[in-house]
Amino acid sequence: MLLVAEPVLGPEERAAVMAVLESGWITLGERVRTFERAFAELHGVADAVAVDSCTAGLHLVLKALGIGPGDEVLAPSLTFVATVNAILYVGAEPVLVDIEALQHPLMSIAQAEAKITSRTRAIMLMHYAGHMAERRMWRDLASRHGLLLIEDAAHAVGVAGVGSYGDGSAFSFYGNKNMTTAEGGMVLMHNPEMLERVRQMRGHGMTRSVMQRLVARTPHYDVDMLGYNYRMDEIRGAIGLVQLSRLEAMNTRRAALVAQYRALLARLENRYEGFVVPRPQSGLSAHHIMPILLPVGANRDRTAAEMHLAGVQTTIHYPPVHTLSYYRQRAPGLHLPLTEEFHRRELTLPLHPKMDDSDVELVVNTLENALENAFAPNYG
């Protein structure tokens, strides 16, 4: 089976993990700190804070920025539910926004501005598929209305400029991401004092970590804020350092695969009305996933099933948050027509650095064959 996503792990990661195990220090320590500094340097910022997930990172960013009960945060519905869950974690109210267009499935700036109220405190961007939101337009909108700007950068690690224009940003190292530590995340913040607040909150709000107490040769610490258990361990920090060292090469390979996909899929765009290959308006992408929109009337389940039988996995990114049971109960009348249309027709094709050119040809040929039967009635 050709998988939608597959991590690139090898002897370097294995050796890094073994070195941690042999060291006897496996919790938060110097490897995590080295990973933080290296990640910050790669993204052109002064420092970073490693956490145990992107979800935890978003939660801490919102807390550090003082967003809470009574506040509204604009966010896309076309995202993984964690983006919106984090807003509820701090007691704020998510206000879900439609996408710009089927070809450009990031949050619509015009629709976002139309939903700003006196209670709006922040905008939560999500760089869907690794496609960077346009920096200047979103910064201008936030500045005009006095709003905070937060980047959910789970899909966009390694892209030039990502994490640098929001007041805070969070990245994911989950197993299907461009680089992985199995589970894990990273936080960047514009204000260094806010970043230190995140660092303290990730470890129960303690004023000194275990490593700091060891170096200082004193067991004493205080807790002067509400904290959480969101720390990264040394095993993940060690894997992260190896993954980070090859991130540029892996992202470059992803870009080459996407270019090949687009060249081969052009024949389907010409053949089928409504067949769409989304592209970043900004021109910048980490190429995290390879979404396409099937033609109007094509049976997606049948297409996916036939591709699976031919040895090609596909999936869907994502069921819109406002259509999920919990959120539908919170806002039963919400209708986001472009987001809903995108979801009805979206299919995600395999994309990862282990693929070669022949794999892309296989996927496109398999998709083309499956579409021959995708318009037959009464499937399933």
Contact 53, 183 (CB under 8 A): yes
Known catalytic residues?
177
Neighbours of 252 (CB within 10 A): 13
Contact 289, 130 (CB under 8 A): yes
Q: Tell me, what DSSP letter sits at residue 240?
A: H
Please report where in the chains the tokens 């998988």 appear, as a residue. Answer: 3
Taking Cα atoms as reference points, which of 218, 209, 244 lies closest to residue 25? 209
Cα 260 to Cα 243: distance, rounded to the nearest angstrom: 25
Q: Is 246 helix (H, G, I), strand (E, B) or coil?
A: coil
Cα 97 to Cα 100: distance, rounded to the nearest angstrom: 9
Taking Cα atoms as reference points, which of 333, 335, 278, 286 lies closest to residue 100? 278
Contact 257, 360 (CB under 8 A): yes
Q: How far from the centroid of its chain's Cα atoms is residue 341's Cα?
A: 21
- Single-letter amino acid code for the residue at 144: R
Rg (CA), the chain: 21
